[in-house]
A = this chain, B = another copy of it.
Amino acid sequence: MSYTAPLTDMRFALDHIAGLPALASLPAYEAAEADVVTAVLEEAAKLAENVFAPLNRVGDEDGAKIENGVVRTSPGFPDAYRQFREGGWNSVPVSAEMGGGGLPWAVAIAVQEMLSSANMAITLCPILTQGGIEALLAHGSDMQKERYLPKLISGEWTATMNLTEPQAGSDVGALRTKAEPQDDGSYRITGTKIFISFGDHDMAENIVHLVLARLPGAPAGTKGISLFLVPKFLVNEDGSLGAQNDLRPVSLEHKMGIHGSPTCVMSFGDQGGATGWMIGPENGGMRCMFTMMNNARLAVGLQGLSVAERAWQQARAFAQERRQGRAAGGSADQASPIIDHPDVRRMLLLMKSQTEAMRALIYLNAGCIDRAHHAGSEAERAEAQALVDLLTPVSKAWCTDLGVEIASLGVQVHGGMGYVEETGAAQYYRDARIAPIYEGTNGIQALDLMTRKLPLQGGGVVQALLAQIRADCAALSGRDEAAFGDIHRHLQPAVEALDKVTRAVLQGLSGDIAGTIGGATPFLRMMGTVLGGWLLAKSAIAAREADPQGDRAFTRAKVETARFYATQVLSQAPGMAPAVLEGAESLASFDTDLLVA
């Protein structure tokens, strides 16, 4: 159940997929020198391996509890968080002027991958704080920034996102929490929020709740929502903590996994109203929320990758140790390690190849965020931002779906031992299952991809991406090795199929919208599958170019990983087209009466 940070593959993806060397040449990221990044990753690996990972099972077995209205986290969590904070890990991607590490998001994402692999539950807390920092940086008043940002950046305080209410989950616009303006410029917040991760805990001295609520007379739906800053403890002018605010955790959810993360029902205003301050303009809450959520979506996609990496490491270790039967060529005297059995190796390679494909996608996405903020020209920034917009729903949904599937493969590799809780494989399967749900269900991501992102620039953004894939596909065909030939043979029809389906979807959106959006989820799956195959192919090319003899184990593994994925996974992409395009009639014919008949 130990965890070893996959530093070699992480660094490879940073350098060759996220484009770290180019990022490091930008003025904003002058801190990101190669040896600095190396040192940062190695230090983060120690924290993940030695501090966070050993607490993963503790968090599962002895999860967060609520007692006398206060949440107590799992044994060891407050101390682990203290070490995280003192190491400055909370502020890796924040600019140096703001007191942060001044490193690219891509590097921060790599750090976060390790921490989430080591302990998904506790790492959720700083992910939420990061969302709060983003929201305040983008939309906060000077006073709000001055009073709250330094403590959030340092990690002394943490943040939460308070969106969901019992009747308002995916439909945020249905929320009812009220905010009444007061004479002093503050607001009285009253309402109940559910599914608030780390809504209360004992790891930091204050918690800054970002709460969506409605002003009196606000328009219905999402147009009438505003965002409020509601601290657990009010903050005096000198920055010291004042009175406790009128808010409290009412109860914790009894969840299937991530038991170490307290999921609170929060009550605001039991005593007349919690004191809050508006962030951004009146009724501008949705925009602020999207600022919070955008990077959070990538962070949740990353959880899919992280739990998959952990599950893969554990399955691999188990398959080396566990002996059963005799594999072809195995010793006659002793049972073979199950890793030598073809079906087990197939499962392991599905885990490995898809995990590396996810890593490439997430790191690419993070590198684009960096370029969107700090690339040299407005055109480059806009181009990068368009790619961020397109890729983020795929990173979130495809990676979290795969996280579940890979955790499930990990259980299967363990056989009966995978079903008992002692090995940890079962915990990954339970933990992983939340990620396709929160931060916008994967169905919502698929709709976002199809109806908002595909039509960007009249389809130009996705076409530019397809052009990149085609260019790398051409590079494959210039190599005479058999493995590259196999990869090319499957990547080429896959990208053409994706192109064809994309065009058909864009056409469909201008006609039978209801019919077309029924294919949103298979479309996202198809796109993720093709992007994964492309990025593994790109990785294989880069590895081969860095190692002209091609005899290093890493190079051989990269090339064969791309080949395995191409033949086993990518090869199925063209066959997904009917699932995207032909569902409309069945979905329409199946009216609700018939479905429940």
Contact = CB atoms under 8 A, between A and B. Distances in A.
Interface of A: 164, 167-171, 173-174, 194-195, 253-257, 316, 320, 323-325, 328-329, 335, 337, 339-349, 352, 404, 408, 411-412, 415-416, 418-422, 426, 429-430, 433-434, 436-438, 441-443, 446-447, 482-483, 486, 490, 513-515, 517-518, 520-522, 553-554, 556-557, 560, 563-564, 567-569, 571-576, 578-579, 582-583, 585-587, 589-590, 592-597
B572 A576 contact: yes
Contacts of A345: 518, 587, 590, 595
Nearest 9 A/B pairs, CB to CB: A575-B575, A571-B578, A342-B518, A564-B586, A567-B582, A343-B443, A256-B426, A553-B597, A171-B324
Given A170-B324, A560-B590, 9 more contacts: A171-B324, A256-B420, A345-B518, A411-B433, A415-B441, A419-B434, A483-B589, A564-B590, A568-B586
Contact of A171 (B325, B517, B589, B594): B325
A487 B498 CA distance: 24
A342 B578 contact: no
B343 A447 contact: yes
A320 B597 CA distance: 12
Nearest to A560: B589
A420 B567 contact: no
A184 to B, nearest CB: 36
A192 to B, nearest CB: 14
A256 B430 contact: yes
A256 B421 contact: yes
A44 to B, nearest CB: 23
A458 B535 CA distance: 43
Contacts of A335: 167, 171, 174
9 contacts: A348-B595, A349-B590, A483-B589, A486-B582, A490-B578, A564-B586, A567-B586, A572-B578, A572-B579
A589 B269 CA distance: 64
Nearest to A565: B586
Contacts of A441: 412, 415
Contacts of A255: 419-421, 426
Contact of A328 (B171, B320, B514, B568): B514
